[in-house]
Amino acid sequence: MYCNQCQEAAKGYACTSVGVCGKKNDLANMMDLLIYSTEGISLYAQELRAKGQKIDPKVDLFIMESLFATITNANFDDEVIIKRVKDALVIREELKKQLGAEINHPTATFTAATLDEMNSLAQKVGFLSIENEDVRALKSLILFGLKGLAAYYHHAHNLGHNDEKLDNFMEEALVVMTREDMSADELTAYVLKTGEFGVTAMALLDAANTSTYGNPEITTVNLGTRNNPGILISGHDLKDMEELLKQTEGTGVDVYTHGEMLPANYYPAFKKYEHFVGNYGGSWWSQNPEFESFNGPILFTTNCIVPLKSNNTYLNRMYTTGASGYPGAVHIPDREDGKAKDFSAIIEQAKKCAPPVQIEEGQIVGGFAHNQVIALADKVVDAVKTGAIKKFFVMAGCDGRFKERSYYTDFAEALPQDTVILTAGCAKYRYNKLNLGDIGGIPRVLDAGQCNDSYSLAVIALKLKEVFGLEDINELPIAYNIAWYEQKAVIVLLALLYLGVKNIHLGPTLPAFLSPNVANVLVNNFGIAGIGTVEDDMKVFLG
């Protein structure tokens, strides 16, 4: 295996024998083969589109779900990925038939009839097969961004929002992976194009979420527990959230969010459920002990699974759905014929479980997505004009298990009282319980929501640019100190670069998949920088 798609890649290079995330060698290789298969599918699909033919929507749904399933800590189930490779070959052959010709490229022609053949090929098709390190780095940036894009698109798709431009782009970007004729400059331009479509995907998801569930609004989220059995739901998928809330209503079972599902608490459509109690625990990496003490079933709707300890007590109450998967956990099947997913098995099990053990109490405040912040625009603009707010710090992105991420807690605490943190994603867990106070009633930590709601932060910045009559988004008193972990953060970063945001600080370390030359392009053209000590960075940011 050779995997360096996330921030925790071993030794800042790559995981080569087993993943720090827990992904095993065979699974990592099989995921490479799955991506390779989707490249072959895409070659046919793009050729057919060029001839004016329609592509069956199931093809792009398959591509989207395959990309999503290979995101860091989404799916640990070998069987699922092996089946996907087999399905990919069937889809590819159907497209070949539709085209009436074979395309001459290994991804379009390979066969693997047995598991041995699959495993043997799987070892050869990863990024290490690209010799030129700059080409490898640029293609990594595109593919990893594409995985994040596919995840966001999948959530929008689940809410009935699709965009053929995104279907076409996913195929086109996968075809880029097969091309050897593109120069480093062309690939660099394509990185930005990926960011452009990242904005399209996040805007689509924002429209899907808000038109279905209302605009997030200022909300006080309860962190304590009640005395009923509960179900804990993690991940990002709001459609799953909706169906779980509906199916648990009146059953005596409470529902709590974990990790990235916390922002579900901010949506009007969910707040109305009396049995939706609040949020339990911290960000994804703290799940092992928290899932023990929760006592009830846990439903993963997306990525952010931490492998279970051998002495765990919760594998028998762990469920996955959608792109997520884990050996030994029950997988709730996809919706069919427009019907809701069936969560009854989870609910029946929950009824027999003890209530959660309370691990913290109190409340946090969130719900500052674009609509809510723009509703407060007058207040915010006044505070900037009077100097009550001197600077905004976008501290969006991810949390992770490494010790050095305490930097973000220290940084948030060290920020002067006349600054406001704009956040989204699970990075917030490093400082959202610190009680950093407010400025004239505006909380000093404004949480827009999930990582995809980083889109909201861009909308807010563009609105402020308009209100202040500025030419350039970079003239705003906004600094960017972003934490990343997995591939959704890659697409968020590319989206910000596409929108023209400069001087983003990215930590806790720069991606291992960047070659020195490609890192230099990011530094020289976009002012990307890493992080230093809190003390030094305060000086840099506050001038």
Determine, following the binding rule CB under 6 A, whether residue 305 of this chain makes contact with ligand SF4. no
| Strand 442-443 relative to strand 438-439, pairing | antiparallel
> Where is 383: in which H helix or E strand?
helix 377-385
| Strand 478-483 relative to strand 391-394, pairing | parallel
Q: Which is nearer to ligand FSO, 40 or 367 (CB)?
A: 367
Selected binder of ligand SF4 within 12, 13, 15, 239 (CB under 6 A): 15
Q: Point out which span in 12-20, 144-152, 373-381, 462-470 binds ligand SF4 (CB under 6 A).
A: 12-20
Burial call 106-133: b when 16+ CB within 10 Å, e when fewer: ebbebebeeeeebeebbbebbbbebeee
Q: Point out which span in 5-13, 266-274, 367-375, 502-510 binds ligand SF4 (CB under 6 A).
A: 5-13
Closest distance of CB 528 from ligand FSO, Å: 17
Distance CA 16, CA 214 (A): 45
Which amino acid, one-letter code, is at 150? A
Q: Are the C-beta atoms of 457 and 396 separated by less than 8 Å? A: yes
Distance CA 253, CA 276 (A): 9
Please tell me whether 488 is known to bind a ligand. yes
Determine, following the binding rule CB under 6 A, whether residue 70 of this chain makes contact with ligand SF4. no
Determine, following the binding rule CB under 6 A, whether residue 450 of this chain makes contact with ligand SF4. no
Selected binder of ligand FSO within 170, 264, 489, 510 (CB under 6 A): 489
Please tell me whether 398 is known to bind a ligand. yes
Distance CA 279, CA 491 (A): 27
Q: Which is nearer to ligand SF4, 5 or 222 (CB)?
A: 5
> Which of the choices ligand FSO, ligand SF4, none does residue 158 contact, using the CB cut-off of 5 to 8 A by kind?
none
Please tell me whether 3 is known to bind a ligand. yes
Selected binder of ligand FSO within 304, 350, 420, 460 (CB under 6 A): 304
Selected binder of ligand SF4 within 29, 37, 42, 72 (CB under 6 A): 72
Please tell me whether 246 is known to bind a ligand. no
**Where in 401-490 does DSSP place strands (E)?**
419-423, 438-439, 442-443, 445-447, 478-483
Q: Give the count of beta carbons closer than 10 Å to the beta carbon of residue 456.
A: 29
Total interface residues for ligand SF4 by CB under 6 A = 13
Please tell me whether 353 is known to bind a ligand. no
| Dihedral sign, Cα of residue 523, residue 527, residue 531, residue 537 | positive
Closest distance of CB 20 from ligand SF4, Å: 4
Q: C-alpha dihedral over 46, 47, 48, 54, to 10 degrees?
A: 20
| Strand 330-332 relative to strand 318-321, pairing | parallel
Q: Are the C-beta atoms of 494 and 408 separated by less than 8 Å? A: no
Distance CA 48, CA 55 (A): 8
Give the residue carrying structure tokens 């390779």. Answer: 36
Q: How many helices (H) and strands (E) does the chain have?
A: 19, 15
Q: How far is CA 215 from the centre of its chain?
A: 20
Total interface residues for ligand FSO by CB under 6 A = 16
Binding mask 441-470 for ligand FSO (x = CB under 6 A): ---------xx-------------------
Distance CA 307, CA 310 (A): 9
Determine, following the binding rule CB under 6 A, whether residue 486 of this chain makes contact with ligand FSO. yes
Closest distance of CB 431 from ligand FSO, Å: 14
> Which of the choices ligand FSO, ligand SF4, none does residue 4 contact, using the CB cut-off of 5 to 8 A by kind?
ligand SF4
Q: Which is nearer to ligand SF4, 66 or 247 (CB)?
A: 66
Distance CA 22, CA 48 (A): 39
Annotated binding site: 3, 6, 15, 21, 236, 260, 304, 398, 426, 451, 486, 488
Residues lying near ligand SF4 in the complex (CB under 6 A): 3-6, 8-9, 15, 19-21, 23, 28, 72
Residue positions in the annotated binding site for [4Fe-4S] cluster?
A: 3, 6, 15, 21
Residues binding ligand FSO (CB under 6 A): 236, 260, 284, 303-304, 397-399, 425-426, 450-451, 485-486, 488-489
